């Protein structure tokens, strides 16, 4: 028997030019989106609105952000990714600019819903592009690169916005608007529709396909579990961490800790002096995982490349739970523990999120990549909507009782419960079969 291995089967395919153009667009969109979103809780507190009202806006914003991809993914499969991308920009740009002119609660809520609508149109399109430009030899690396690019934008957006909002919140909003304008030009001149099977089905047929996808009870249960046990605590972290750091941790001491290790210039980059001249770390500049994922994502993707997606996912949830626990301990111990907590949570996110996106898109045939990614956003919507109401409200009440750190302990337990839930799901229903090619 010939045991020779064909080396061509192990050779990783090169990524086409549109893969890289799409990832540049993703950087800019995440810069704009997270530049607004991470500081939004601080902004509403600055305007004097309660945390209960903040939770309502967060929930409605995430509801629209993650309901729209179900529709926009379907339109992208039918009419092409580039056309739907251009539509999203035409909705995005004026919505961001409106934040500069409205300060009432109803005005802010409606403006954020408009931004959520535009972001929802955009969301499945770059992931869909990555899906149709990768194959079995480079899919894990491709989605790892994609997720790293998300976090390049997600890191620099809050840093730039944090610096600018210290001068004027309008400057922060303007920076996001400029990023959307650059995206428009890049898409117009450089984004070439990736080759895939042309869809000739009517829109009615495409919407019926969504019904067919959601008639699979195993798939629906899987999406619900993702929403409740993964996306809910993930979005709760993003909703709360910047506000928690700003309101509940000694950010002046954190500045001194960072300065003593990394030097004054580095510490100053992530901080701003308060009205008394005391330098404090800015919540939105450090309270996210992007700057960690930007550095370590490719290493993590390579490390988990040969491990099956769902076991990888469950390992990631355990590490994320550890991170949430440490974030809570930062209030009762040294405040700089929050950096360690965010680091562990970021490791968990790097393992879980790109693998689960890869897994769901590879359940689908290439010609239905947008449809399946749209269906995936149902899970994200469930978690996003729940996170604003459940955890922002819980945090507000625990904060009033003097124990805001306990919200992080609850979230850690939530993630561990998710590990048990997914283990039972796999034992009872089995894993999904991925499509080859």
Which CATH number do you get for residue 145? 1.20.1250.20
Q: List the chain pLDDT tens, one digit each, 437 residues.
A: 444 444 445 577 788 888 899 999 999 999 999 888 878 888 888 888 877 788 888 888 888 887 787 778 777 777 788 888 999 999 999 999 998 888 888 888 888 888 988 988 888 888 888 888 887 777 778 877 887 788 788 888 888 888 888 788 899 999 999 999 999 999 999 998 887 665 656 666 666 766 766 777 888 888 899 999 999 999 899 888 988 998 899 999 999 999 999 898 888 888 888 778 889 888 888 887 877 877 887 788 788 877 887 888 999 999 999 999 999 999 999 999 999 999 999 999 988 887 887 777 666 655 566 566 666 677 888 888 888 778 888 998 999 899 999 999 999 999 999 999 999 998 887 776 666 55
Across the chain, which distance is largest between two alpha carbons, in Å? 79
8-33 residue pLDDT tens: 455 777 888 888 999 999 999 999 99
How much is the pLDDT for 207? 65
Alpha helices in 333-392 (DSSP H): 337-361, 369-387
CB 343 within 8 Å of CB 351: no
The packing angle between helices 139-165 and 169-190, to 10°, is 150
In whole angstroms, how large is the CA radius of gyration of the chain? 21
Residue 408 within any structural domain of the chain: yes
SS3 191: coil
CB 39 within 8 Å of CB 159: no
Alpha carbon 48 to its chain centroid, in Å, reads 27
Residue 100 within any structural domain of the chain: yes
Residue 206 within any structural domain of the chain: yes
Phi, psi (5° rounding) for residue 280? Answer: -130, 145
Domain range enclosing 77 = 16-429
CA distances from 405 to 58, 140, 153, 294 (A): 20, 36, 28, 27
Residue 193 within any structural domain of the chain: yes
**How far is 35 from 120, CA to CA, in rounded Å?**
16
**How far is 312 from 397, CA to CA, in rounded Å?**
35
How many domains, in total, are found in the chain? 1
Residue 20 within any structural domain of the chain: yes
Whole-model pTM: value is 0.76
Neighbour tally for 128: CB within 10 Å = 30
Place of tokens 């996306």: 231
Residue 257 within any structural domain of the chain: yes
Length of the chain: 437
**Burial status of residue 353 (CB atoms within 10 A of its CB: 0-12, 13-18, 19 or more):** buried
**How far is 293 from 146, CA to CA, in rounded Å?**
11
How much is the pLDDT for 25? 93
Q: Is 430 left (phi over 0), alpha (psi -120 to 50) or beta?
A: left
Residue 9 within any structural domain of the chain: no
How much is the pLDDT for 429? 78
Helix or strand (DSSP H, E) at 280: strand 279-281
Residue 383 within any structural domain of the chain: yes
**How far is 230 from 381, CA to CA, in rounded Å?**
11
């Amino acid at each position: 028997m010939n045991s020779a291995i064909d080396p061509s089967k192990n050779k990783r395919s090169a990524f086409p030019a549109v893969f890289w153009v799409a990832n540049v667009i993703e950087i800019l969109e995440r810069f704009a989106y997270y530049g607004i979103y991470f500081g939004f809780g601080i902004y509403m507190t600055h305007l004097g609105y309660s945390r209960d009202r903040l939770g309502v806006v967060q929930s409605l914003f995430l509801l629209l952000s993650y309901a729209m991809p179900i529709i926009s993914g379907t339109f992208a499969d039918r009419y092409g990714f580039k056309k739907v991308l251009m539509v999203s920009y035409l909705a995005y740009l004026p919505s961001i600019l409106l934040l500069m002119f409205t300060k009432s609660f109803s005005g802010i809520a409606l403006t954020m819903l408009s931004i959520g609508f535009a972001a929802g149109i955009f969301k499945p399109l770059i992931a869909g592009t990555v899906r149709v430009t990768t194959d079995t030899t480079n899919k894990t690396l491709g989605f790892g690169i994609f997720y790293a690019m998300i976090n390049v934008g997600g890191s620099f957006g809050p840093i730039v916005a944090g610096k600018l909002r210290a001068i004027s919140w309008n400057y922060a909003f303007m920076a996001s608007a400029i990023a959307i304008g650059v995206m428009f030009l890049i898409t117009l001149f450089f984004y070439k529709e990736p080759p895939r099977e042309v869809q000739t089905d009517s829109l009615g047929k495409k919407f019926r396909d969504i019904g067919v996808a959601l008639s699979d009870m195993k798939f629906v249960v899987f999406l619900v579990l993702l929403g409740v046990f993964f996306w809910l605590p993930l979005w709760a972290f993003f909703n709360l961490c910047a506000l928690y750091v700003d309101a509940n941790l000694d950010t002046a001491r954190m500045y001194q800790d960072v300065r003593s290790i990394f030097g004054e210039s580095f510490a100053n980059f992530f901080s701003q002096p308060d009205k008394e001249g005391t330098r404090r770390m800015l919540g939105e500049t450090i309270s996210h995982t992007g700057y960690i994922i930007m550095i370590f994502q490719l290493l993590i993707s390579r490390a988990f490349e040969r491990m099956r997606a769902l076991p990888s996912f469950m390992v990631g949830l355990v590490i994320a739970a550890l991170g949430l626990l440490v974030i809570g301990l930062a209030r009762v111990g040294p405040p700089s523990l929050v950096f360690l907590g965010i680091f562990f949570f970021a490791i968990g996110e790097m393992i879980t999120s790109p693998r689960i996106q890869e897994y769901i898109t590879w359940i689908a045939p290439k010609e239905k990549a947008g449809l399946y990614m749209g269906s995936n956003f149902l899970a994200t919507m469930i978690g996003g909507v729940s996170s604003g109401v459940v955890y922002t409200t819980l945090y507000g009440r625990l904060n009033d009782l003097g124990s805001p750190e306990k919200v992080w302990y609850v979230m850690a337990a939530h993630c561990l419960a998710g590990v048990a839930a997914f283990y039972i799901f796999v034992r009872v229903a089995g894993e999904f079969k991925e499509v080859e090619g």
